[in-house]
Amino acid sequence: MGWLLTLMLAVPQVEGTVQVEMWFSRESYCTFARSKFTEQPMYSLTQGAPRVPVTVKDSACRELGPEETNRVPPHMSAQATPEADTGF
């Protein structure tokens, strides 16, 4: 079905935590993206103000269950088939 990356972000201009979710067709893609989002700095950009760092407070990759097909983007539904993790 696919893998869901969830990032919990602390964005200075927003009160509370911002949750971002991204779908991936393979576990290896999800874990790679997770490592990149946590090691590379992110910034919030506001017109007329300096860029402000965004902090990743928490992150997780998890496999989607069969009842979560609505979370797979329509244009990617052909990619959402069971697979063996090739280690790629």
- pLDDT at residue 10, as a whole number: 94
- pLDDT at residue 88, as a whole number: 43
pLDDT above 70 as % of the chain = 88
- pLDDT at residue 78, as a whole number: 66
**Cα dihedral sign, 85-80-29-27:** negative
Mean pLDDT over residues 58-63, rounded? 95
What value does the mean pLDDT of the chain take? 86
Question: pTM of the entire structure?
Answer: 0.76
10 Å CB burial of residue 36 (0-12, 13-18, 19+) is exposed
- pLDDT at residue 1, as a whole number: 80
